[in-house]
Structure 1
């Protein structure tokens, strides 16, 4: 058995073990479903309402991925601009920290009032959540270049665009994937929080309705979907990193 197989086996063992302890604890403690439903009841609820959760998941995941894409592109673009013009760094980072420090619960209702209950507020909130980790990590990757390599490119009389394309961007790829490992789960959180403030569909809306009706099996079913999606997206990002940044991950 390879190391990767053992790691997956251990992971699944921990998940199954935790769910088993949860199931036994609920049954032994005779916990009512409106306080803590058993995993078996949650899975039964999920299977019974599969089409509803599937439709809601597609809405939420679409908003999260689009917001992640926009946030990542904006973060990379700003990092490149700051690298070209270092004098912008203090002002740009101050503004970025200001946006990052503003609570989502304060921004999301305003965007819902201004833009309505469609997908636009959710995508904007998700982009705001995800762009800061990308900006910080990519900026570090673009700026921390080995001096000997930088001297070599200068000896070849490379201009700043050639430095960017052939040296700085390849060097920053591990930092990009490090940022994505943080931003990808945050994208799901951003979409859910935005849907709580007002939405016509999505997992966030289902969770809010379940919460207001104390329907915890439905609430936990949505949580299970989000947890599974977060794990899959993280693993997908890790696999993409291994394939695209092979010179870094194999060292």
Structure 2
């Protein structure tokens, strides 16, 4: 990483690349430091929207996966609707939600939830349905109820799949929040990026990009740490 930044800095210096095309990392760092309060407030807004949308999308994905597992006849209709939502471009949905819900946090959370729920749905559904037949027979011999099957067998088996989905959905949550902010927002990193773009202020634009990249790496690392602490007992049994 440091080598890449050093090569970037050297390349901009030796080839005299204009700032309005590609600013050097040193200028981007100075921009971050000089405008730290602005970026801190914008980051809190965007990260709050992203985390709320991620939680909502994850809950929706898990609930739908459980319903489909309990009632398999729903799978065709539910998956068709989920694929339809997934296939619809965000740039087409975001303006509509902004018109309907306003310029507050609500449309950003909804967009983020729409982006994140599909990977969770697919992964959790696989985890709930791919249970070893011998374990199913064992629980049936104990006359376990449907909820006991879910709580003691299917959900523990799905933990690795849930965390695999979260590793994909967590960066997508940031992207969803940013795209939603581009269509209209009073604050957030997306608004800062849009203002920087319209004014060709690339140091400010790259500063926001650096913050998002660092946040994505941090959230991925945190997800991995939580996985190691919550799912270690299941992984060690495989």
TM-score of the alignment, normalized to the shorter chain, above 0.5: yes
Partner residue in 2 for 1:189: 175
Q: What are the Cα deviations for residues 131-162 of structure 1, in whole angstroms up to 9, with x where unaligned?
A: 00000000000000011111100111111110
Q: Provide the secondary structure at the position in 2 that maps to 1:200.
A: coil
Q: 2:182, 2:191 within 8 Å by CA — same for their partners in 1?
A: yes
**Among residues 176, 191, 214, which one is paired with 2:162 in the alignment?**
176
Q: What are the Cα deviations for residues 49-78 of structure 1, in whole angstroms up to 9, with x where unaligned?
A: 000000000000000000000000000000
Query: Does residue 233 of structure 2 align to residue 247 of structure 1?
Result: yes
Equivalences for residues 1-251 of structure 1 within 5 A: 15-250=1-236
Q: 1:249: Cα distance to partner?
A: 4.0
Query: What's the Cα RMSD here?
Result: 0.7
How far, CA to CA, are the matches of 1:247 and 1:29 in structure 2? 55
How far, CA to CA, are the matches of 2:235 and 2:179 in structure 1? 34
Q: Provide the secondary structure at the position in 2 that maps to 1:33.
A: coil
How far, CA to CA, are the matches of 1:136 and 1:60 in structure 2? 26
Partner residue in 2 for 1:4: none
Partner residue in 2 for 1:7: none
Partner residue in 2 for 1:11: none
Q: Provide the secondary structure at the position in 1 that maps to 2:187.
A: coil
* Unaligned 5+ runs, structure 2: none
* Unaligned 5+ runs, structure 1: 1-14
Q: Provide the secondary structure at the position in 1 that maps to 2:155.
A: helix
Q: 1:248: Cα distance to partner?
A: 4.0
Report the count of equivalent residues: 237
Q: What are the Cα deviations for residues 79-123 of structure 1, in whole angstroms up to 9, with x where unaligned?
A: 000000000000000000000000000000011111111000000
How far, CA to CA, are the matches of 2:145 and 2:96 in structure 1? 45
Q: 2:157, 2:234 within 8 Å by CA — same for their partners in 1?
A: no
Q: 2:156, 2:234 within 8 Å by CA — same for their partners in 1?
A: no
